[in-house]
Structure 1
Amino acid sequence: MKNVFIAKRLLSFKYACNGIRHLWKKEINFRIHIFAGILVAALGWLVEITRTKWMLIIVCVGIVLAAEAFNSAIERICDVVSPEKNRQIKIIKDISAAAVLIVSVTAAIIGIFIFC
C-alpha cells in the first residue's frame, strides 16, 4: 500500500514535468517570463540583494510562471470546448490573459522597489 502511494506521487511529478516541458516548447510567453526571471536573478546576484528581497523575487517569478501556466491551460480548454469562434470564449481567454498581465505588472513594480 505504501509503495502504491509513493508510485502515484512520483507519477504526479512526472505529469507536472511533462506540463513544464510542454509550456517550454509551445508557449513563447512562458519562455519570455523564464528569460525575465533569469535576468532579474542575475541582477539580484550582481547587486547582492538581501535574503528577504530574494524571497520576494522568487515568489514573484513563481506566481508569474504559474499564472502563465493557468492561462495556457484555460486557453487549451476553451479551444477544446469551442473550436469555432465564440464571443464568450474570447472573453474568457481575454480575462485569463489579463490575469497574467496583472501579476506581471505587479511583479515588475515589486522589482522596481527592490532594485531602485
Structure 2
Amino acid sequence: MDIRKFFRSFTFAVAGVKQAWREQNFRFDIFAALLAIFLSIVTGLSQMEWIVVILLIALMLSLEMINTAIENVVDLASPDIHPLARAAKDIAAGAVFVFACASVIIGILIFLPKWMNL
C-alpha cells in the first residue's frame, strides 16, 4: 500500500467537504447538526440515543453531499434542461427530504419524552 496515495485521498475528501460547504443546504444541515448536539448535551441523552443522533447527523450530511454530487454530474452531462436530468435531480433531492423528515420524527421520539418529564 502506497502511504502517500492513502493520505492524499484524505486531501480529496477534505476538498469535497469544503466544496459541500459552499452549498446553502449543507450549511443549514451543519447548523441543524450543531443545534441537535447542543440539545443532546442539555437534555442528557443516553449512550444509545447519542449513537442514534450522531448516525442521523452523519447520514444527513453524507446524503446532502451525495445529492450535490448528483446535481453537479447531471449539470455537467446535461447542461440543457432535460426531463430525465430534472427527474434525476428531483429524485436525489427527494431522498434528502425523506431522510430529513425521518430524522425529525426520530428526534421528536428521542427528545419529546425527556422534555415532557422536566
State the TM-score bracket (shorter-chain normalisation): over 0.9
Aligned to 1:14: 11
2:38 matched to 1:27? no
CA shift for structure 1 position 95: 0.1
Inter-partner Cα distance in structure 1 for 2:28 and 2:54: 16
3-state DSSP class of the match of 1:83?
coil
Q: Deviation above 6 Å: which 4+ runs of structure 1?
A: none
In the TM superposition, what are the counterparts of 1:42-81 in structure 2 within 5 Å? Answer: 42-81=38-77
Identity %: 35
Shift of residue 39, structure 1, vs aligned partner: 0.2
Distance across 1 between alignment mates of 2:15 and 2:104: 28
Residues 48-72 of structure 1 show CA distances to partners (whole Å, capped at 9, x for unaligned) of 1111100000000111001100000
**Cα distance between partner residues in 2 of 1:90 and 1:103:** 20
Paired AA for residue 30 in structure 1: F
Hey, what's the Cα distance between the residues in 2 that align with 1:8 and 1:52?
A: 36
Quote the Cα distance in structure 2 between the aligned partners of 1:58 and 1:34.
12
Q: How many residues align?
A: 112
2:97 pairs with 88, 97, 101, which one?
101
Q: Output the aligned Cα RMSD.
A: 0.7
**Length-normalised TM-score, structure 1:** 0.94
Within the candidate set 88, 110, 116, 1:114 is matched to: 110
| Structure 2 alignment gaps of length 5 or more | 113-118
Alignment of 1:73-92 (within 5 A): 73-92=69-88
